[in-house]
Amino acid sequence: MRWDVWLAYFAACWVIAVSPGAGAVLSMSHGLSYGLRKTTTTIFGLQTGLVIILLVAGGGLGALLVASEHAFAVVKTIGALYLIYIGVQQWRARVDGGAQDDAARGTEAPRVAALSPRRRFATGLLTNVTNPKGIIFMVAVLPQFIDPAHALGPQLAILAATMCGVDLVVMHGYALLASRMRGLFRNARAVRWQNRIFGSVLVAVGAALFFVRRHPA
């Protein structure tokens, strides 16, 4: 892969990663609820899903998926329903400690019952891998950076490593920004509202996926 091609792809990766989406919302939500360290597991799940999408798109299956109305509808529905599901779960997340107890203590913020590392990883993975917008974008973008005169495998490896490296930095930045705001949530009522806001955003993102349309074959 030529340096000028890689640099153009590198710049595109930053634009993609910084653009708000389900991954950014999830990173901020978990960063605010669980802190940066625990959110790293969620972010690694996001990267695994990202690699799967990239390999699917790069291997030609993504183009087939976009061309098939029924297959695209299935993936779109699964992705939308999953985001709505985790949004509802976020809305209903249990908060340790009541508002009166927190006010009496006044020193320690209430804690949200944390998901296990396995569930945080799975949440991140499924959030990306069931996102039809990501598949559409990969199918549209990747061919511009792949040279058919050279082996596909090494090029996909470079593209995947570059995108994941950038996305790791950006998602950790979102999670860090959110985790620094945890001090603002010193009572259970504020934490519940935080859960409801992020839960509502995830539900809205999921609902928006129902309106995503495939490109004509």
| Percent of the chain whose predicted confidence (pLDDT) is above 70 | 73
Q: For the ranges 30-34, 96-100, 153-157, which has the lowest average pLDDT?
A: 96-100
Query: What are the structure tokens assigned to 155, written together?
Result: 């090029």
> Does any domain span residue 14?
no
Within a domain: residue 103? yes
Q: What is the mean pLDDT of residues 41-63?
A: 83
Report how many domains make up the chain: 1
Distance, in Å, from the CA atom of 187 to the CA atom of 96, rounded to the nearest integer, reads 10
CB-based burial label for 3 (10 Å; 0-12, 13-18, 19+): exposed
Please name the residues in contact with 115: beta carbons below 8 A apart, sequence gap of 6 or more.
34, 123
Residue 138 lies in a domain: yes
Looking at residue 133, its amino acid is K
Give CA–CA dist 159/13, Å, rounded: 9
Q: Is residue 81 one of the residues assigned to a domain?
A: yes
**Residue 41: what pLDDT?**
96
Return the sign of the alpha-carbon dihedral for residues 83, 86, 90, 92.
positive
Confidence (pLDDT) at 105: 47
Tell me what the mean pLDDT of segment 32-60 comes to.
88
pLDDT band at 99 (very low <50, low <70, confident <90, very high): very low
Q: Is position 44 within any domain?
A: yes
Tokens, residue 142: 């990747």
Region 82-108: mean pLDDT is: 61
Query: Per residue in 12-25, pLDDT tens?
Result: 889 888 877 888 88
Give pLDDT, residue 212.
64
Which region among 34-38, 109-113, 131-135, 211-215 has the lowest average model confidence (pLDDT)?
109-113
Q: What is the mean pLDDT of residues 194-201?
A: 75
Closest CA to 156 of 172, 143, 137: 143
Most confident of 12-16, 40-44, 94-98, 205-209: 40-44
* 83 occurs within a structural domain: yes
Band of residue 102 on the pLDDT scale cut at 50, 70, 90: very low
**215 occurs within a structural domain:** no
Domain that holds residue 97: 22-209
Check: CB of residue 64 under 8 Å from CB of residue 71.
yes
Give the amino acid at 16.
Answer: I
Q: Which of 15, 79, 46 is nearest to 171 (CA)?
A: 46
Model confidence, pTM: 0.73
165 pLDDT higher than 70:
yes
- Which contacts (CB < 8 Å, 24+ apart) does range 135-139 have? 135/53, 135/56, 135/57, 135/62, 135/65, 135/66, 135/75, 136/66, 136/212, 136/214, 136/215, 137/16, 138/53, 138/54, 138/56, 138/57, 138/58, 138/62, 139/57, 139/62, 139/63, 139/66
Q: Quick check: is 3 in a domain? A: no
